[in-house]
Chain A
Amino acid sequence: AQSVTQPDIHITVSEGASLELRCNYSYGATPYLFWYVQSPGQGLQLLLKYFSGDTLVQGIKGFEAEFKRSQSSFNLRKPSVHWSDAAEYFCAVGGVSGGGADGLTFGKGTHLIIQP
């Protein structure tokens, strides 16, 4: 079965500093990969997604992610974080069943704290 690992439970970054959140997946083929963000008391908002093609994908709010097949990774990056980026970030895998409607498999999330 597919799985998603986010090795960092918490990350603290100073405002204005760069950010990288790690995500590794376990699946035989190239899955569909997603990053979502969840603010306190809110649902999940899609940041970006990867299906095929260019391995560097751009998302909303200045985020980007790079797919590296050799490392089974899909790390999320941002060059300069803002206090409003403080939230929970989830990496997810989908499309593995081959069916049209397919549930996503999520990592446990990384809690991002921004220091002033």
Chain B
Amino acid sequence: ETGVTQTPRHLVMGMTNKKSLKCEQHLGHNAMYWYKQSAKKPLELMFVYSLEERVENNSVPSRFSPECPNSSHLFLHLHTLQPEDSALYLCASSQESSGTYTQYFGPGTRLTVL
């Protein structure tokens, strides 16, 4: 595997389900990000992790719970979601010490909440 991978690529869940999205980066980076991409809206930053510590949470509802167990893996735990949470969820990584702020993205997970 190379770059940033995300699983699953597609997910359909009911409002009462609990599911998790997984992201893995193979670039040796030390920062990871979750973004939400909804139709007709700009990409929205959800969470930022640097050196496995959460450094930013952009007022995301508590039904989204991130986890970063190590610098290569990032999870987004989902529970009691709403239909408006249906979107493409993108993971990205960067090398914080590079000073370039260049982020590399995974292919995304297309989430549909019924």
The number of chain A residues with a CB under 8 A from chain B is 26
Q: Which of A34, A100, A105, A107 contacts B31 (CB 8 A)?
A: A100
Q: Which of A4, A94, A107, A109 contacts B103 (CB 8 A)?
A: A94
Report the number of A-B residue pairs with Cβ-Cβ less than 8 Å. Answer: 67
- The distance in angstroms between the C-alpha atoms of A72 and B94, with both chains bound, is 25
Return the chain A residue nearest B34 by Cβ. A103
* B5-17 contact mask (Cβ, 8 Å, vs A): 1 or 0: 0100000000000
- The distance in angstroms between the C-alpha atoms of A105 and B101, with both chains bound, is 12
Q: Tell me if A116 counts as interface (CB < 8 A to partner B).
A: no
Scan residues 6-63 of chain B and give those whose CB is less than 8 A from a CB of chain A. Answer: 6, 31, 33, 35, 40-43, 45, 48-50, 55-56, 58
The number of chain B residues with a CB under 8 A from chain A is 32
- The distance in angstroms between the C-alpha atoms of A86 and B102, with both chains bound, is 24
Given contacts A32-B100, A42-B107, contact A101 B49 (CB under 8 A): yes
Binding site for B on A (CB under 8 A): 4, 32, 34, 36, 41-46, 49, 51, 90, 94-95, 99-109
